[in-house]
Amino acid sequence: MPDTRVIFKKYLPRAAALIFIGVLRFKPASDKIRLSAAQCRRTTKGENFSLDEIIRAISGDGFVSVVAISSRGLTERARDIHKASRVCTAAMGRTMAAASILGSELKKDGASLTAIIRGGGPIGTVIAVSDSLGNVRCCAGAPEAELPLAPNGKLDVGRAVGNDGTLTVIRDDGEHEPYSSATELVSGEIAEDFASFLTQSEQIGAACALGVLIGGDGSVRAAGGYIMKLLPGAPEDIISVLERNITEAGAVTGMLDGGTAEDVARRVLHSLDPKFVSRAPVEYRCGCSRERVLGALAGIGKDDLRDIAEKGAKIEITCRFCDAVYTFSPDEL
Ligand SMILES: [Zn+2]
């Protein structure tokens, strides 16, 4: 039996070359897209344009795993909550897709994964939190900040996020001390940063594609992505097959605009006999509650709380992740 660690080291440089960034495109409202009959029906319904879901698949030989997400609905929800600009919607959508995929790998109920991207760019720090089912929430420091399109006509996520900083991933199983690891940002384009995080901090060969397509009216038209991992002992020739599949599949938003997460997994595992392991719905979900907010208030300090209460004013606290507003009377404080 060869030493899998050595095999992985050998893989890392090429596996890192697998990194592929979901391409963002800005489409004017007049751009016509052909839709299947089923898609047209869903379009006219508005709300249910696509079901957000996570699909897990594995190659027939068991050496490549792909987790793909379709997340248009939850990305649109984030845009609405935060009144986010186009470029910030794209940054949040990409971060949520990756956090949801990685969060859904946590085994325990009550576990959570937090991804923090501090790049020093105009939209500020982007934070996404996923539960163990992949339900996710997000916020950004300055969600309204907008930038002109990049010279290539795409949303300039890299510049909006910035690349002078770190991607930190915190895994909390709900029982032990949370486990945190961080890597330096590569470009601020997010998919590249997550792929680099996985290859460096988890020492595995990985590819990540994330994308958000904004329609002419500013709403989210398609969103999602995938994370592909090479499992120990994978034969070297499988990498060139994966590279070809990824190149031929093209931008992830192109696959998801009218397609599903399953379509994405099928395309990138083309000719590798994909087996589908699971599929589950995901949504934008915030875990805030009155009790939790009160708990956080307790951290302010008794004297300050007494001061507020003595002034007789109600206090209002807005959740940073959702549109919930909690009001507390002086008595409660
Ligand atoms: Zn909330």
Reported as a single tens digit per residue, the pLDDT across 11-42 is 333 333 333 322 222 222 222 222 233 333 33
The Å distance, Cα 100 to ligand 1 centre, comes to 17
Given this model, what pLDDT does residue 295 score?
A: 81
* pLDDT value at residue 196: 94
Q: Which tops the pLDDT comparison, 212 or 6?
A: 212
CA of 82 to the centre of ligand 1 (A): 12
Rounded to the nearest angstrom, the distance between the alpha carbon of 323 and the centre of ligand 1 is 6
Kindly state the average pLDDT of the residues 137-146.
Answer: 97
Tokens of 202: 């988890």
Average pLDDT over residues 271-299: 91
Neighbouring CB atoms inside 10 A of 308's CB total 17
Sheet holding 220-230, edge to edge: 206-214, 220-230, 64-70, 53-58, 275-281
The architecture in CATH of the region 4-281 reads: 3-Layer(bab) Sandwich (3.55)
| Close Cβ partners of 147 (under 8 Å, ≥ 6 residues apart) | 87, 122, 155, 156, 159, 160
Instruction: Please report the pLDDT score of residue 82 as a whole number.
Output: 96
Q: What is the CA radius of gyration of the chain?
A: 21
Residue 3 has pLDDT above 70, yes or no: no
Tell me the whole-structure pTM to 2 decimals. 0.83
In angstroms, rounded to a whole number, what is the distance separating the alpha carbons of residues 210 and 9?
25
Average pLDDT (174-199) is 94
pLDDT digits (tens, 9 = 90+) for 235-266: 889 999 999 999 999 999 999 999 999 999 99
Q: How far is the CA of 73 from the centre of ligand 1 (A)?
A: 17
Cα 267 to ligand 1 centroid, rounded to whole Å: 36
The pair of three-digit structure tokens given for residue 54, joined into one six-digit string = 């996570």
Question: In the chain, which segments carry CATH 3.55.30.10?
Answer: 4-281
Q: What is the predicted pLDDT for the residue at 50? A: 57
Q: Are 152 and 165 in contact (CB under 8 A)?
A: no
Q: How far, in Å, from the CA of 138 to the mean position of ligand 1?
A: 10
**β-strands 112-118, 275-281: how paired?**
unpaired
- Candidates 274, 226, 280; CA nearest to 249 is 226
Q: What pLDDT score does 11 carry?
A: 36
Distance CA 257, CA 6 (A): 40
Burial state string for 39-78 with b = 16 or more CB within 10 A and e = fewer than 16: beebeeeeeebbebbbbbbbbeeebbbbbbbbbbbbbbbb
What does the alpha-carbon distance between residue 205 and residue 12 come to, in Å, rounded to a whole number?
Answer: 6
How many angstroms does the Cα of residue 34 sit away from the middle of ligand 1?
37
Cβ atoms of residues 272 and 265 within 8 Å: no
Centre of ligand 1 to C-alpha 99, Å, is: 17
pLDDT recorded at residue 266: 97
pLDDT at 231 over 50: yes
CB 220 within 8 A of CB 213: yes
9 CA distance to ligand 1 middle (Å): 42
Strand 166-172 versus strand 179-184 pairing type: antiparallel
Cα distance between residue 258 and residue 265, in whole Å: 15
What is the distance in A from the centroid of ligand 1 to the CA of 320? 7
Q: Could you give the CA distance from residue 47 to residue 34 in angstroms, rounded to a whole number? A: 19
Q: How far is the CA of 76 from the centre of ligand 1 (A)?
A: 16
Residue 49 clears pLDDT 80, i.e. is over it: no
Please state the separation of Cα 143 from the chain's center in Å: 16
Ligand 1 mean position to 253 CA, how many Å? 28
State the pLDDT at residue 296. Answer: 79
Average pLDDT score over the chain: 84
